[in-house]
Chains A and B, each alone.
Chain A
């Protein structure tokens, strides 16, 4: 079933937030392809673009939406009784695949006026979906923290091609831990993992003290095709390695008993790393 039925808030969705501490490293691409991948498997999916000022979800899908989260917030403020979040969703459809989008505001002024509590409430109103994918921006803002709080998992993305990016990935992870997010909830996802670079994934894992949950390969050509054609990768580059890789990641995220398999495949931190972690005050 592709069309969501509105059943109030009896159910709870799995909320996957896509977060990073460095901008421009593929969060939106990941969010779109998680949404379309989960939708392919028959799940009801909503993709919420909470990069409020400069969200790219609509851009990357070449859509224009008459409704946005800014309108939803206004409606919620004006008439809470009759608020229906469905009036503010815009559907993406491509063949048999469809998912809903809660678009970012069109104007910066509207983005600046958004209220953390109202937006969080709007996201929680989407609970009739099986999955809510939230595309965030790269800051520890009040809104991002509120969304990370209600997320089932945090898909924490890093591209480790540049020393400042590595620093920000590590600092961001440490901060999430200091904010008491469970390590299990934070999924370290390396993007462009196999590109030629100066810093090895293994060194990153050693520095962080945790292994990557998933590594997405570097496939600039396919991403470019997807953006230029305004489609998810499964349509723009169905045979590409990145498309296959996203399918695997969707497989991990759609197992409701998430990752029993994970513990087998991951490298447990060694004794030394454990003591370093303690030393760093985790």
Chain B
């Protein structure tokens, strides 16, 4: 059955173009067009539309997206723009749009975008989760990778892993990949990309989990501007429901920029000499000064031994902050990661997997009032 289409567009020429293109396709049935928000919200219901094209370059239309989502439950809502604008795309997505599309488009473009956006998962804004570690060697990458696999398995939604440890990222080796395109290419190309042309930069590593890999040579890191990396993450959010970023160690422009836009930041620390807790404390204090109430910052301690409440209390005392998540040790992980079989060989029956599983459950339930 053809999509029942409603177009909300204040530019008459553009409106005529879109109608003309869609009418030629058997897949679309243009039932109504409007030049302003008020008429569209009031009248379109008559035609039971299930696909909207709304001009998000118009501020009023952009800001009314939540009303359309609320009034026409279950309908696909595509924001239309002449040039890709990452900020507008993010606002549209936060407003509940299915996604955005460049105009003018062909009927085939629309079908491809609908496919891309429907496999993503629920039509809700993406959850952006960053893994920060003060000095590195914290178990950050392993944790990020396992969490990605578990989120995908539990939700059936699309999960992206972005290896932003630009100099010495380890994710490709964990998954035994030799990526053709990397996060460096994505950052350089991003201004010219659309979600459709950006999607192939990811490598699928398992059902539902795709990786945007780090480059093979550390000097390529120089080519990535922190701002373009933000744009890369923003566009990733339009095609993935969960976005997990593995950051380079320490405070640097890349890590700070990504943390700034993240919903959740995990400060990951592995205790070795004991002074790592002090580093985590310094880190938490820095994040506290940067707090604008928009992101949650959690402390994570990996390979905690003994794995009990006594340890939690001891670490928390030295840290001066609560220990939010403790991850137990699992010796078998080393050989799994060493063999590049992280996507296949996880020791599922272990305490480690159960603990990360619970972490995934919490993330899935955040925002649905069941924390």
Contacts and interface: CB of A to CB of B under 8 A. Distances in A.
Contacts of B143: none
Contact of A162 (B216, B249, B337, B340): B337
B275 interface: yes
A54 B249 CA distance: 10
B286 A24 contact: no
A171 B136 contact: no
Contacts, number: 87
A223 B283 CA distance: 26
Interface stretch (A4-12, A41-49, A136-144): A136-144
Given A53-B251, A171-B168, A140 B219 contact: yes
A60 to B, nearest CB: 7
Contacts of A21: 167-168, 218
B219 A175 contact: yes
A108 B251 contact: yes
Most chain B CB inside 10 Å of its own CB: which residue of A23, A137, A167, A198: A23
A22 B219 contact: no
A171 B216 contact: yes
Chain A interface size band reads: 20 to 34
Contacts of A22: 136-137, 168
Contacts of B286: 108-109
Contacts of A167: 170, 173
A112 interface: yes
Contacts of A168: 168, 170
A85 interface: no
A202 interface: no
B34 interface: no
A111 B334 CA distance: 33
Interface in A103-119: 107-109, 111-112
Interface in B108-154: 134-137, 141
A176 to B, nearest CB: 10
B23 to A, nearest CB: 55
Contacts of A111: 251
A198 B336 CA distance: 12
Interface of A: 21-25, 51, 53-54, 56, 59-60, 107-109, 111-112, 137-140, 162-164, 167-168, 171-172, 174-175, 178, 198, 227
